[in-house]
Structure 1
Amino acid sequence: MKIQQFEDKGLAHYSYAILSECQKQVVLVDPARNPQPYYDFAQEQGATIVGVIETHPHADFVSSHLEIHQQTGAIIYTHSLVGADYPHTAFDEGVVLEIGKIKLKSLHTPGHSPDSISIVLEHDGKDKAVFTGDTLFIGDVGRPDLRENAGNLTAKREELARQMYHSTREKLMYLADDVVVYPAHGAGTLCGKALSEANSSTIGQEKRSNPALQDMTEDQFVTYLTSDQPFIPKYFGYDVALNKQGAPNYQESLLAVKRLEKNSKPEKDALIIDARPQAEFKKGHLAGAYNLQNGGKFETWLGSIVDPKETFYLLAQDDKTLDELIDKASRIGYESKIKGAFVMDAVAAVASPEMDVARFKEHPEHYTIVDLRNASEVKDKKYFANALNIPLPELRERAMEIPTDKPVVIHCAGGYRSAAGSSIVEAALPTAKVFDLSEAINEFRPL
């Protein structure tokens, strides 16, 4: 037996291949959008992919389960409560999938979603591992507030939090202490609030150290789990629906993105995502463009700022970066939202004003300061007493709340969000003078 973990760092996503070495058969768990790494693994092992298990309809990434089924004939397994629109076999509690000496046993573990399952791997008659999806993380459990308006079954966060209490305590914590825990996400995901950097653990270790598994009443657990959760990106409900349906072919979808001529000029008032470095953007950009730079969390911020009902133009500084960005967009199903993609190496007409940090330090009261960090970040560390807190995911809708009687200074925790935020405010308030404090925020001490 062999378990191979695959990681998508941008989305902090883990997927798995379970290999029966005697049967030369592979079962996948929660595969990412690009199926090629799983094909490569199977080929390297001289094995065939015979099954794909979906622990639930994912909100934060698009799975390749349908494409893998279509390409390999592998059977898709998921809980019947998903109401899946793709061909599948119900993998409800008590169902066992056997490959060689391996038994994969389904546990219904609602809490993150009503249809969540965990998969216990038994080998040679002993439970060895459990694939917990978004139910149990390392150092945390899945958030319960993503299925109030999405999915085949919807449920209120309090109801799901109570289900999570029972799923963890009456099912997962009953497994042996040495059973290895393999979650679907690690630190950086928005599917939980306090995940560890570790990519695996054991049931025993989690029982000892995971705050969500400590001794508390059900009501105390509900209060704990429903408080201080991170924001919900705009794309989450869209991805739940897309995963319930099954995403289109990955490579065909990338090739379908319309490529435009270099330095194209989209129509007036078009939504433009300019992913060039902020220095290039500030020298000159297209009117109304948003500077969402390429980086480790590009796809998350893209899906937090752009609504899935919208279409947008995507531009980058070179072809290689543009290809990378289209791939990242596809991981959340947004490649179909790209109206046109092109390279820009010309300096456009609109320039952003340069920030005089020294002048700002002397008289911060002469500026309207907007803090783009999340409310929990501001609660822990505040930089300016009179700053207006508008988290970046809410900025497009709330930009008109910003007073324009003074120059506006935008800041975040390190500069990435402020580059995007200042460009959004520039577009929304064209008569205002908008400055990006950028990395200079590190020169200021918290209050």
Structure 2
Amino acid sequence: MLIHQFYDTDLAHASYAVLRAGQIIVIDPARNPQPYYDFATLHEASIVGIIETHPHADFISSHLEIHETTGATIYVSRLLGAHYPHQTFDEGDIIPLSDIQLQAINTPGHSPDSICVLVTDENGQTTTLFSGDTLFVGDVGRPDLREEAGNITAKKEDLARQMYHTTRHKLMTLPEEVVVYPAHGPGSLCGKNMSPDLQTTIGRELRENYALQLMDELKFVKDLIADQPFTPQYFGFDVELNKQGAPAYAPSLAAIPRLPADSILANGTLIIDTRPKADFNSGHIKGAINLQLQGKFETWLGAIIAPEEPFYLIAADEARLETALARAAKIGYEGQIKGALFNPPQAKQISDELNLEAFKANPDDFTIIDTRNWNEINAGLLFKDALTIPLPEIRNRIAEIPTDKPIVVHCAAGYRSAAARSILSGQISSVPVYDLGEAVTTF
């Protein structure tokens, strides 16, 4: 048996191929199916099955496209309510792969329809657990993403209680030597305390994972719900799209209009400019939002832009434009792109530049806005009188910002503040809006 992990650092997403005797089962595939086809070609093998551990909230899966291309069977829990051709795969169900077996375990907690996949090798030994978003290295899946999305909805408290029983009765009873392969690593918003490691063992998690330590159900629920990261707008949209099955990846990208650089863009349509902020600040289209490609672009795109909200996409050159389009497609946003262009000559709006010494000398002369996430804000303010408006909320809270003084926006390192400043400067013209940027680390 060969297990291969495919890891997308942009979304901290891990998917897998299990190869045995010329047959492959793919688990939780990403939007672009090509890496799985390439793996099959390399090993002269056939993809015969795709397993979805649950309908993912943070990325779009290629399960339907792989099925339509290869004829492979899609396996999902009956609880998922899938609208695509599939075979149900629930507690005790087995997929034979030559002389090994993949067995389903229903593991509600992150979602009501979550499953894990337990592998038994050719010697009958239980060796491997593909844990989806149920068990991570150092964490378990957050329980608050299915209150309004999916075939079955559930309150976070109810799912947290289910996670307590899933961990205690399903996972913690497995042999300690079982190797665990989760669907996410650090940086994912599907948990709050993930280790940098991308695999683990049941024994290690029993010793080190806070959620698997001795505690009663009430404490577990309280601890699991507390301090979870924010939920981007696109999460519910992706759950529903994954439940339906997404359109084919390459044709969807090809359908996006590539526009001449000097195109006239429709008034009132958002513009997402993915260039580095130094380039953006030197000249951009008025009202454009600066979401830099080198950061967590997908996360912030789906946090700031609502599902089905149209926008234009701008990049520095053709290669980076294609990269930006591919990354937007990872979260299913390619259909919202009205047009894509690079290096537009009409990008002439110059950003105001902060006099850092004047700000340090007299910060009270400025309205300071803290755009960090709530968990960061709650840990302590960097400026005592700052307005606290996390980046995902800023488009809806502009009216709260006073305009009697120049505005300075900050985050923790400069990415979010660049985006927030671009949003505010497109709406506020009576006073300058500045980005404290990386200089925030000197305070």
Q: TM-score, normalised by structure 2?
A: 0.98
Judge conservation of contact 1:53–1:77 (CA < 8 Å) in 2: yes
Of residues 107, 110, 135, the one that matches 1:109 is 107
Deviation at 1:347, TM superposition (A): 5.8
The corresponding residue for 1:33 is 31
Judge conservation of contact 1:18–1:28 (CA < 8 Å) in 2: yes
Judge conservation of contact 2:262–2:346 (CA < 8 Å) in 1: no
Deviation at 1:268, TM superposition (A): 1.9
C-alpha separation in 1, matches of 2:143 and 2:28? 19
The corresponding residue for 2:139 is 140
Deviation at 1:338, TM superposition (A): 0.4
- Which is worse superposed, 341-350 or 391-400? 341-350
The corresponding residue for 2:14 is 14
Identify unmatched segments of 5+ residues in structure 1. Answer: none
> Residue 406 of structure 1 aligns to which amino acid in structure 2?
K
Of residues 73, 76, 82, the one that matches 1:75 is 73
SS in structure 1 of the partner of residue 181 of structure 2: strand
> Residue 172 of structure 1 aligns to which amino acid in structure 2?
L
Deviation at 1:430, TM superposition (A): 2.6
The corresponding residue for 1:195 is 194
The corresponding residue for 2:361 is 362
SS in structure 2 of the partner of residue 104 of structure 1: strand
> Residue 393 of structure 1 aligns to which amino acid in structure 2?
P
Match runs of 1:48-447 below 5 Å: 48-123=46-121, 124-346=123-345, 348-444=347-443
C-alpha separation in 2, matches of 1:136 and 1:81? 19
Deviation at 1:149, TM superposition (A): 0.4
Residue deviations 1:423-442, cap 9 Å, x none? 01112223231000011111
C-alpha separation in 1, matches of 2:176 and 2:264? 60
C-alpha separation in 1, matches of 2:344 and 2:307? 28
Identity between Structure 1 and Structure 2 (%): 56
SS in structure 2 of the partner of residue 11 of structure 1: coil
Asked whether 1:2 is paired with 2:5, we answer: no
Deviation at 1:381, TM superposition (A): 4.1
Judge conservation of contact 1:269–1:288 (CA < 8 Å) in 2: no
C-alpha separation in 1, matches of 2:156 and 2:426? 36
> Residue 178 of structure 1 aligns to which amino acid in structure 2?
E
Of residues 41, 44, 51, the one that matches 1:43 is 41
SS in structure 1 of the partner of residue 397 of structure 2: helix
C-alpha separation in 2, matches of 1:267 and 1:64? 32
Structure 1 segments (4+ residues) deviating >4 Å? none
> Residue 79 of structure 2 aligns to which amino acid in structure 1?
L
Residue deviations 1:108-137, cap 9 Å, x none? 000000000000001020100000000001
> Residue 420 of structure 1 aligns to which amino acid in structure 2?
A
- Which is worse superposed, 276-285 or 45-54? 276-285
Deviation at 1:443, TM superposition (A): 1.4
C-alpha separation in 1, matches of 2:262 and 2:366? 35
> Residue 140 of structure 2 aligns to which amino acid in structure 1?
V
Judge conservation of contact 2:95–2:102 (CA < 8 Å) in 1: yes
Residue deviations 1:79-117, cap 9 Å, x none? 000000000000011101111121101000000000000
Judge conservation of contact 1:400–1:429 (CA < 8 Å) in 2: no
> Residue 191 of structure 2 aligns to which amino acid in structure 1?
G
Judge conservation of contact 2:308–2:333 (CA < 8 Å) in 1: no
> Residue 249 of structure 2 aligns to which amino acid in structure 1?
Y
Deviation at 1:264, TM superposition (A): 2.4
Judge conservation of contact 1:314–1:338 (CA < 8 Å) in 2: yes
